[in-house]
Chain A
Amino acid sequence: MKKSGLTYIVDDLSLIRKNIIRDNSVVIKLSNPDDVVGVFQRYYGDYNIYQICLDLGFGSLSQIQFNNDWENIPLVIFAYNLGDLNYILNIVGLIQSCKIRVMQPASNKESYASLKILSSLGVDCGIFFDQEQADSEAFLDLASYYYMSPVPHASIEPFANIKENIHLDYNHSFDEVYFVDEKRFLYIHSEKEFSFLPQSKRLSIYLSDEDFEKEQVNFKLENYYGHFMELDQCSKCKAFKICNHKLSSSFNCDCQQTMAEVFEYAEISETVRR
Chain B
Amino acid sequence: MPTLIFKETEACNSNCIYCDVIARKKPCTISFDLLETVFIRINEYLEKYSNQNFSIVWHGGEPCIVGVKFYNKVLELLDKHCPNTKNRISHDIQTNLTLINQELIDVFKNLGMNRVGTSYEPYKGIRGFGKERDSDAYNRAFFRGIELIEKNGFSWGFIYVVTRNVIDKPLEIFNILTNFKVKGGFQLHPVYSYKNEDKNNVGITAMEFADFLGEIFKEWWEHRQRYPFVQPFFSYMNHYGNGGTVCCSESGQCAYSHIFLGPNGEISHCGRSSDWDVFEVGNIKEVSIIEAFNHAYRKDLEKRNEYLLANDCKGCEYFSLCHGGCPLDGWNYKDTIFAKSEWCAATKVFLKKYFEPITGLKFDSRKYEQLDLSK
A residues within 8 Å of B by Cβ? 1, 168-171, 213, 217, 220-221, 225, 227-229, 231, 235-238, 240-241, 267, 271
Contact = CB atoms under 8 A, between A and B. Distances in A.
Contacts, number: 50
A28 B143 CA distance: 34
Q: Helix, strand, loop or mixed for chain B's interface?
A: helix
B122 A169 contact: no
Given A220-B147, A221-B143, A229-B136, A237 B175 contact: yes
B65 to A, nearest CB: 22
B226 interface: yes
A225 B97 CA distance: 15
Interface of B: 122-123, 136, 139-140, 143-144, 147, 151, 172, 175-176, 179-180, 182-183, 225-226
Contact of A235 (B136, B144, B176): B176
Given A220-B147, A228-B139, A171 B172 contact: no
A231 B180 CA distance: 11
A221 B144 contact: yes
A221 B175 contact: no
Given A169-B183, A236-B175, A231 B123 contact: yes
A228 B139 CA distance: 9
A214 B136 CA distance: 19
B225 A225 contact: no
B179 A217 contact: no
A171 B179 contact: yes
25 contacts: A168-B182, A169-B182, A170-B182, A171-B179, A217-B147, A221-B140, A221-B143, A221-B144, A225-B139, A225-B140, A225-B143, A228-B139, A228-B176, A228-B179, A231-B176, A235-B175, A235-B176, A236-B176, A236-B179, A237-B175, A240-B175, A240-B179, A241-B179, A241-B182, A241-B226
A193 to B, nearest CB: 24
A227 B176 CA distance: 10
B299 to A, nearest CB: 44
B122 A235 contact: yes
Contacts of B122: 228, 231, 235
A1 B6 CA distance: 34
Nearest to A172: B182
Given A217-B147, A228-B122, A231-B123, A237 B140 contact: no
A229 B140 contact: yes
Closest 8 CB pairs of A and B: A240-B179, A225-B143, A169-B183, A236-B175, A217-B147, A236-B172, A235-B176, A169-B182
B179 A237 contact: yes
Contacts of B176: 228, 231, 235-236
